[in-house]
Amino acid sequence: MIEYKNGIFLLRSENISLLLRVSPQGLLEQLHFGAPVDIEDAQAFALQPGIGWGSMVLLEEGKTESCPDVVGLAWSGSGRGDYRESPLELSGVSTDLRYQSHRILDAMPPAASGLPLAAGEGQILEITLAQPGLQLQLYFRILGDVLLRRAVVSNTGDGTVRLGKIMSMMMDLPGSYEMTTFDGSWIAEMRKHTVPVLDSRVVNESVTGFSSHRHNPGFLLSMPGAGEDHGRVYGFNLIYSGNHYAAAQRSFQGLTRVMQGISPAEFSRELQPGESFETPEAVMTFSDRGFGGVSEQMHHFVNHHIIPAYWQGRMRPVLYNDWEGCMFDFNQHRLLGLAKKARELGCELFVLDDGWFGNRNSDTAGLGDYTVNKKKLPGGLRGLSDRIHALGMEFGLWFEPESVNMDSDLYRAHPDWALTDQFQPLLSRHQLLLDLTKPQVRDYIVENVSAILDSAGISYVKWDMNRHSIALGAKAHDYILGLYEVLRRIFDPRPQILLESCASGGNRFDLGMLCFSPQIWCSDDTDPVERVTIQENLSYLYPQSTFGAHVSAAPHAQTLRSTPLTTRGNVSFFGVLGYELDLNHLLPVEEKEIKTQTALYKRWRKAFQFGTFRRLENGWQVSDGRVTVAGIFHGQRSAAPGYEYLRVKALEPGKRYTLHSREQTLRVGQFGSLVKHVAPVELNPNGIVLRTADRFVTLPDGVQTCTASGNALMAGIPLLPAFRGTGYDKNQRTQLDFGSNLYIIEEETKHE
Ligand code: DGJ
């Protein structure tokens, strides 16, 4: 809903509102962004600078409230009295944009550049600010409980305008905040860091050419003391996959200026008379229900307004991916053996990863070529996919279309298609990026990928990208626009293909990519201990339906840590489940465990993929109205652990529920010489008998069942005692290091 009265604008949804006012001098003031308020509250919110502070520059003599430095603004200029950070920089020129006009539109004008915008109906507020020779359109709208903003700047003069920086949004929020960012690296994505925002600027920025695992574009601002379920928290994100920038800084007067947009590092754009530049759309929300409230609103927004329409709420298949099992070493026979086994274990989609084309037998060659390797796949992709389909599985394929190896037919034919600068090309993973700013490069990718998709019954694509860019400035932005064009041309006519994007794992986990790919490969790190961190921190801003989450072999390729297979499953359930290991090396007990996992996941798939996700003190829960499934995850066990509780959230207080823990098993081999406590005879822990038994025999772990009211389950119920020394007891949870438990909570059904 958008209201306008006497220079005051109100945008409001159930849980948020934005109140703006045009000042007598034409500044666009932000009176409030947060809980829903009324347009009549404008006067109450207006700041009163009184006699002001020293050194103020006034737009109107004698009026302290005309000083742009001390009022809350929704946009500001530079060099004209506001000495806080400006969202717009023109080389060598001050900016002083004042209100010119506004319109309330029924539909968002399409982004002429091809930048993806959130999808959804509703009114849009367009406010035009102007100064001689320059016009700025600011767009505001609310979808769900999320505010969206973007800016379009136009050269209305007759000279060249040199743009050095333009943000998607800027706002001043009263008070002091802490800023939480999600930073990391390859196999260590999404590490959460929180710092106070004081008088020095705190910046969250990526300059690798992509949104990057170094600094995810999403961030949070919270009032000190805010927690998971209480306190005031703001969440921010950007619908963009390239270099991004966000900054927060508190002013002396106690207003915190926040802005987000394309990184200004090396960015420059020349606008000739009549030309415009548009920013990506920025996304922000507010909750007084703590971090959990922000996450819930962001998840709903992503699931309903970002994910491609065809895949909104549509169940995702359990997949098997051959990469960690085979790497480059496969042929049709090996793949079909794996597919058959994967099918038996409950997988529904077989994904052939890297190595199927050109001379790609390692990562040093072949990228850029699309000819199928007939030595590995004599019947071509069609031959393989027909056989996969005959097994009752769907078929998916890996591509890395944005890159080229120098040792490839493509590079030999078109060395000028690689993205380079004036220096010697710099390789990363032996590859260069293709210059997606060139139309002929985009055509090459679109034609080749499309032809393959249409040739072989492919229902899933993994779109990989494995290096940082060296493109700087405007070219970095044009690359991203080129990428969006390519994705649109390939996948718009084929909406039923499930696209999973990947960039060495989570090096491009952002809302821009999610506009095309409903899910993203979170990380090449599939160790569940690491994944708890990665998935939990992604969950602050992204819903679990977007997490590609696979069970892999242990010890893990990335950490050398051994973890229980139950935990690998339990963690991956809270995402889009897949398996990525050599299935021929599984023991019979492991095969049985995986069958149990896929059956359990499919039974509660709707809740796992699309249920409301909540972080608990020791794990996570998902609820879809029919069921709540809670997982709790442990680190290293300590001796003699005390009581442990399960406290779930958002049940109906007075209703009665049944709680049933997932029936988990224990490998006998893990007890070593302690097996003497359960076996009737003493066995050599390294002997053949125990080693054989370990392949086939498991012990049941404690199963907990109870009925309880919603209030009791939310107050917290004690769990079965954990292992506290030597004895096995089938009524305890014989938790190992990195153990986990899963609890299924359903409304009690009354039997007459
Ligand atoms: C990097 C990805 O993150 C992996 O999952 C895998 O697809 C490899 N590339 C293949 O080269």
Count the alpha carbons within 13 Å of 594 in the hemisphere toward its beta carbon.
Answer: 27
pLDDT given at position 532? 98
- Residue by residue, DSSP assigns 572-596 as HTSSEEEEES-GGG--HHHHHHHHH
Classify strands 547-552 and 519-521 as parallel, antiparallel or unpaired: parallel
How far apart (Å, rounded) are the C-alpha atoms in residues 144 and 122?
Answer: 10
pLDDT of res. 110: 84
59 alpha carbon – ligand 1 mean position (Å)? 56
List the beta bridge partners of residue 741.
Answer: 632
> How far does the centroid of ligand 1 lie from the alpha carbon of residue 71, in Å?
50
What is the DSSP-derived secondary structure letter of residue 737? Answer: T
CA 640 vs. chain centroid, Å, equals: 38
E strand or H helix at 10? strand 8-12
Query: What digits encode the pLDDT tens for the residues 673-710?
Result: 887 776 767 788 889 988 898 999 999 999 999 999 99
Distance 525 CA to ligand 1 centre (A): 11
Please name the residue that has the structure tokens 């005692």: 721
> What pLDDT score does 752 carry?
54
And the tokens for 433? 């990026």
> For residue 521, is pLDDT > 80?
yes
Of the candidates 424, 429, 432, which has an alpha carbon nearest to the alpha carbon of residue 404? 432
- What percent of the chain clears pLDDT 70, i.e. is strictly above it? 99
Query: Which residue's alpha carbon is nearest to atom 10 within ligand 1?
Result: 354
Q: Is the confidence at residue 748, as pLDDT, over 90?
A: yes
Per-residue confidence (pLDDT) for residue 440, from 0 to 100 = 98
With 0-12 / 13-18 / 19 or more C-beta atoms within 10 angstroms meaning exposed / middle / buried, residue 612 is buried
Q: Which helix (H) or strand (E) holds 704?
A: none
Q: Count other C-beta atoms under 10 Å from residue 288's C-beta.
A: 15
Whether ligand 1 lies within 6 angstroms of the CB of 403 is answered as no
Alpha helices per DSSP H over 580-685 = 588-603, 605-610
How would you class 704 by CB atoms within 10 Å of its CB: exposed for 0-12, middle for 13-18, buried for 19 or more?
middle
Q: How far is residue 251 from each of residues 85, 180, 200, 331, 538, measured CA to CA in Å?
A: 10, 19, 9, 63, 30
**Do residues 298 and 527 make contact, with C-beta atoms less than 8 angstroms apart?**
no
Q: Whose structure tokens read 């960039």?
A: 503
CB atoms within 10 A of CB 686: 10
Give 598's contacts (C-beta < 8 A, 6+ positions apart).
Answer: 318, 345, 346, 347, 577
Supply the angle between the helices 380-390 and 439-455 in degrees, to the nearest 10. 40
pLDDT tens column, 204-223: 999 999 999 999 999 999 99
Sign of the dihedral defined by the CA atoms of residues 330, 343, 574, 239, in that order:
positive
Compute CA distances 290 → 118, 164, 231, 258, whole Å. Answer: 24, 36, 5, 19
353/357 Cα distance (integer angstroms): 10
Contact 621 CB / ligand 1 (< 6 Å): no
8 Å CB contact between 627 and 604: yes
Q: How far is the CA of 505 from the centre of ligand 1 (A)?
A: 7
- Give the residue whose CA is nearest to atom 2 of ligand 1: 504
Closest ligand 1 atom to 353 CA: 7
On whether the CB atoms of residues 600 and 551 are closer than 8 A, the answer is no
pLDDT digits (tens, 9 = 90+) for 621-639: 999 989 999 999 999 988 9
d(CA 714, CA 246): 37
Dihedral angle over CA of 538, 541, 542, 543, nearest 10: 100
Distance (Å) from CA 351 to ligand 1 centroid: 12
Name which residue leads in pLDDT, 195 or 749.
195
Active site residues: 464, 524
Q: CA 103 from chain center: how many Å?
A: 33
502 lines ligand 1 (CB under 6 A): yes
Average pLDDT, the chain: 96
Residues 702-723 pLDDT 10s = 999 999 999 999 999 999 999 8
Any atom of ligand 1 within 6 Å of the Cβ of 504:
yes
pLDDT tens per residue, range 475-487: 999 999 999 999 9
Structure token digits, residue 143: 């979808």
**Banded model confidence at residue 670, pLDDT cuts 50, 70, 90:** confident
Per mean pLDDT, which range of 92-101, 387-396, 484-493, 729-738 is the poorest? Answer: 729-738
DSSP 546: G
DSSP 8-state secondary structure symbol assigned to residue 650? S
Confidence of residue 751 (pLDDT cuts 50, 70, 90): low
| Residue 420: Cβ-neighbour burial (10 angstroms; 0-12, 13-18, 19+) | middle
Helix axes 688-696, 588-603, angle to 10 degrees: 20
- DSSP one-letter string for 223-245: -TT--SSSB-EEEEEES-SS-EE
Evaluate: CB of 353 within 6 angstroms of ligand 1.
yes
Q: Is the CB of 524 under 6 A from ligand 1?
A: yes
pLDDT tens digits along 278-294 = 999 999 999 999 999 99
The answer to whether the CB of 525 is under 6 A from ligand 1 is: no
pTM attached to this predicted model: 0.97
Is the distance from the beta carbon of residue 325 to the nearest atom of ligand 1 less than 6 Å?
no
Distance 429 CA to ligand 1 centre (A): 11
pLDDT digit string, tens, across residues 310-326 = 999 999 999 999 999 99
Mutate to test the pocket of ligand 1, among 322, 323, 363, 579 (most ligand atoms within 8 A of CB): 323
Beta strands in 87-123 (DSSP E): 88-90, 98-105
Neighbours of 154 (CB within 10 A): 20
707 contact partners, CB below 8 Å, separation of at least 6 = 656, 657, 658, 659, 748
Q: Give pLDDT, residue 494.
A: 98
Please give the pLDDT value at position 216: 98
Q: Is the pLDDT of residue 156 over 60?
A: yes
Q: Is 622 touching ligand 1 by the criterion CB < 6 Å?
A: no
Q: Enumerate the β-bridge partners of residue 695.
A: none
Q: Provide the sign of the torsion angle of the four alpha carbons 646, 647, 648, 654, taken in this order.
A: positive
Cα–Cα distance between 426 and 724 in angstroms, integer?
Answer: 56
Q: Whose CA is nearest to atom 9 of ligand 1?
A: 504
466 Cβ below 6 A of ligand 1 = yes
Cβ 367 vs Cβ 404: under 8 Å: yes
Q: Which tens digit of pLDDT belongs to each residue from 296-314?
A: 999 999 999 999 999 999 9
- 698 beta partners: 667
Integer CA distances (angstroms), 604 to 367, 484, 611, in order: 39, 34, 10
**Distance between Cα 557 and ligand 1 center (Å):** 13
Closest CA to 373 of 330, 340, 432: 330
Tell me 469's DSSP state: -
pLDDT, one tens digit per residue, over 444-466 is: 999 999 999 999 999 999 999 99
* Model pLDDT, residue 319: 98
C-alpha distances in angstroms, 224 versus 179, 180, 454? 10, 12, 54
> Nearest residue CA, atom 8 of ligand 1?
354
Closest CA to 577 of 614, 535, 617, 517: 535
In three-state secondary structure terms, 386 is helix
> Binning pLDDT at 50, 70 and 90, where does residue 266 land?
confident
- The 10s digit of each residue's pLDDT in 9-65 is 999 999 999 999 999 999 999 999 999 999 999 999 999 999 999 999 999 999 999
Could you read off the pLDDT of 523-537 as tens digits, one per residue? 999 999 999 999 999
pLDDT value of residue 109 = 86
Q: Which two tokens stand for residue 480?
A: 């991203």
